Structure 1
């Protein structure tokens, strides 16, 4: 019978835990055809803090390197070309590059986040936010309220030892990844 009050208290506190999570990363209703222009300062500010660094989620070996795409030119006044900021996204798994794509940056449905979605493959999307206080990057893979949020740390080299113990001993240098020009 002593378990009943404890169980009741736990059940009553559950909505507050869920609400505090939702309040941290509020979802916004935005036009699906929005462009980068109204959010340009925030996007460029985020890129300045994250560009060219290695970001790694050690628990699953995923890593990202994001840099501004210089091969695509944006024209803020053209009706025939999408206004926007393009980035190059390189995705790694335990130090091995597994994907690379050109992404389009715009305001995310998550408050204070930037969405980067694949220009030619829109199903590839990440929502990122730089955390000044901890020098980390928060990331969602999709903009749905039930998706988990991941924290990526800035690292000098990607961790390359897989859980099975197989893997490269060291990841490529910044020069080999073509990050330093």
Structure 2
């Protein structure tokens, strides 16, 4: 009797963990021309958490992270430009402790429910769909199409500094390190 109760309990635990891992995020269709101002409430609440901190990516493939800063939109409020209603963010991406890319990104409501989308002003294919999880963590998808693949969800944690590369400084040429003669 105790074995069958234990077996039932184990089956329930396994089923609930499988269901939670298979969670797909709901997507909604939004106007492609939506602006930041229309969704400034959710955008500002995410910005309060993520701006000015170092965020380390927490997957095996990531060896760095990102820092977000507010970016002054000199066109803000102007109706004659597409940036007139845009909230801009500067994202600096790191590989270990070295800057690998900087991008000015436009913030708007994501088509993934509960997320805010940041996309590159000059390269719209650069995207992050962000959801904060408390003050020290956020989760992100790199595309709205990844929301039905929970394994594509990336987790970032707040850190004081990014780690140094285990490979050290760039290797010197053979002539520079004295092995070439």
Q: Compute the TM-score of the two structures, normalised by the length of structure 1.
A: 0.74
Counterpart residue number, 1:29: 29
Runs of at least 5 residues in structure 2 that lack an aligned partner in the other structure:
1-10, 170-181
Counterpart residue number, 1:160: 164
- After the TM superposition, which parts of structure 1 deviate over 4 Å for at least 4 consecutive aligned residues? none
How many angstroms apart in 2 are the aligned matches of 1:50 and 1:122?
Answer: 21
How many angstroms apart in 2 are the aligned matches of 1:90 and 1:114?
Answer: 18
The answer to whether the 8 Å contact 1:54/1:157 transfers is yes
Note closer, same or farther for the CA distance 1:78–1:135 as it changes in structure 2 (3 Å cut): same
Q: Tell me the alpha carbon deviations over residues 51-83 of structure 1, each in whole angstroms, 9 at most, x when there is no partner.
A: 0100001432130101111254411x6143431
How many angstroms apart in 2 are the aligned matches of 1:20 and 1:28?
Answer: 19
Q: Report the secondary structure of 1:52's partner residue.
A: coil
**Alignment map for 1:79-158 (pairs within 5 Å):** 79-82=80-83, 83-132=85-134, 135-144=136-145, 145-146=148-149, 148-158=152-162
Counterpart residue number, 2:172: none
1:40 aligns with 2:40: yes
Q: Which has the higher contact order (CA 8 A, sep 6+)?
A: 2
How many angstroms apart in 2 are the aligned matches of 1:40 and 1:103?
Answer: 15
The answer to whether the 8 Å contact 1:106/1:115 transfers is yes
Q: Between Structure 1 and Structure 2, whose CA radius of gyration is higher?
A: 2
Aligned length: 154
The answer to whether the 8 Å contact 2:91/2:102 transfers is yes
